[in-house]
A and B are shown apart, each in its own frame.
Chain A
Amino acid sequence: MTDTDILGIAVTPMEQETLRAYDMLKQLAARDDLPPCAARNVRKALAAMWQATNDLNLQFEQLYDLGV
């Protein structure tokens, strides 16, 4: 877990928590044992969390290899 955003500025507790939720969704999306109802909804949630974490400068990465 990083302590700074992509500008090198210290992240706030709210941002830490947001990033943690995003990372958790990424881990879930990488699993191959999720039923369709979980696999697809996790991806949809991850696509939305990408926006929040990207808007807050917490990450800037691509997720196509996770199908997102």
Chain B
Amino acid sequence: MAYSEFWNPKNETLPREQLQALQLAKLQRMTHWAYTRSPFHQRRFDAAGFHPEQLKSLDDLRRIPFMTREGWMESQVEQPLFGALLTTQQEHAIRYHLTSGTSGRVPIRVLDGMKDWEWIAEMWSYGFWAFGVRPEDVVYFAFGYGSFIGFWGAHYCCEKLGALVIPGGAQTTEARVKQIVELGVTTVCSTPTYALRLWQQAQEMGIDLRKSAVNKVILSGEPSGSIPAVKRQLEEAWGARVGDTAGMTELGTIMIFECSHQPGGTHIIEDHFIEEVINPETGEPVGYGELGERVVTSFGRGFIPVMRYRTKDMVLKVPYSTCDCGRTGDIYQGGIRGRWDDMKLIRGTNVYPRAVESIVREHDAIDEFQIYIWHSDVRDEITVKVEMKPGREGEWPALSEALAHELAAAHENLRFIIELMPPGTLPRFELKAKRLVDDRPIAVY
């Protein structure tokens, strides 16, 4: 059966001027809704001297004050459980989720109404359709189905698409590999880390996943989904196309996806979001091709409006014309490139975990790794602990030398210590991988 290449042909190919007019119309309505129904937003708007009536053009967006995670958390602490953010009564909600709560912070708690929950699946539908998922597909979710929102929306998206959905749920990796092969799965959804883990497990079981029916692997949950070396390894391992998506609990869903043309980046769903890129220090907008911080405004979940939310995600926006698929949504080249607050300072040099990962993953003999930051008697040190793939241990001497050289060259000649670890000693992850351990003592004054 012939299908449209676009989930929503009307808006995905809308000329930019009309797309911006649509964003303005939605922004006017959403700010009015937030102002009149959410005490949290009303207070913020009033404090900044902003009123929704002031939105006459899209440039007026900048009159809206930034929303921060800290402000959201404070409101939750002041008024448990959801703060003063809700626009309607809690009994209208059908779904509760929360952030994964990294760094021991207060998790962000969210509620969704019936149409919000449908919308969450709708955004995934833009992405999955664009990457080629169709009703004939058999889609496997290698996901634990907990309170973390993760792939929940993608699951319902695939039901909506008419695909056969297989919830992986709480099973061993071995059991999941067996299901993927036995059930003729065509599309696997997981984090990049876990897609590698599934492949490693398959190898141990003597299964060549390239001979399976899997032809698409769709990633989410970690920035590495758009790292070329990670992608290349996964495409070779699975014998399938690998596509990236990214979302956040604060929105409930994805806001960017990679289309089947694989332009080296992810399209923004611009009829449902406004994505700004700013200089994280000045708050001023940066242009195409400049690295900056994502700031998102959502037209989806009305239960908890998200307006000019500072994500701390590091992105680089390029025009839609970078891709030849016909979509007019701009692109984040390289997807989400990490987080501004992930940056570590080692002896005066900035180190970003994703930059290290992109170098480490160029060496396909490496099975797993960890970045370990510690303090010796006199100074901070950074060690990359490495496990080699079985049967490739002989490559270690040359690999360790090359890796140390490449990491130093990319980091102002900072010395990286490269350490070989016995097989199976580094932690493995299913969801958000935590490959950085900062073991430096916290200063006490």
Contacts and interface: CB of A to CB of B under 8 A. Distances in A.
Contacts of B92: 64, 67
A55 B271 CA distance: 8
Contacts of B122: 51, 55
Please indicate which of the listed interface residues A6, A50, A54 has the most CB atoms of chain B within 10 Å of its own CB.
A54
Interface stretch (B17-25, B134-142, B339-347): B17-25
B25 A7 contact: yes
B302 A62 contact: yes
A60 B88 contact: no
B87 A64 contact: yes
B8 A50 contact: no
B16 to A, nearest CB: 13
Contacts of A68: 113-115
A50 B118 contact: yes
Contacts of B113: 63-64, 68
B118 A47 contact: yes
Contacts of B302: 62, 64
Contact of A43 (B10, B25, B114): B114
B126 to A, nearest CB: 9
Interface in B1-32: 8, 10-11, 18, 21-22, 25-26, 29
Nearest to B119: A51
Interface residues of A, number: 22
B320 interface: no
Nearest to B113: A64
A46 interface: yes
B267 to A, nearest CB: 16
Contacts of B117: 47
Contacts of A64: 87-89, 92, 113, 302-303
A46 B29 contact: no
A16 interface: no
A44 B160 CA distance: 13
Given A55-B122, A64-B88, A64-B303, A47 B22 contact: no
A67 B89 CA distance: 10
A48 interface: yes
Contacts of A48: 118
B33 A57 contact: no
Interface string B111-134: 001110111001000000000000
18 contacts: A6-B26, A7-B21, A43-B114, A44-B114, A47-B118, A50-B119, A51-B115, A51-B119, A55-B10, A55-B11, A55-B122, A56-B11, A57-B271, A60-B299, A62-B87, A63-B113, A64-B88, A68-B114
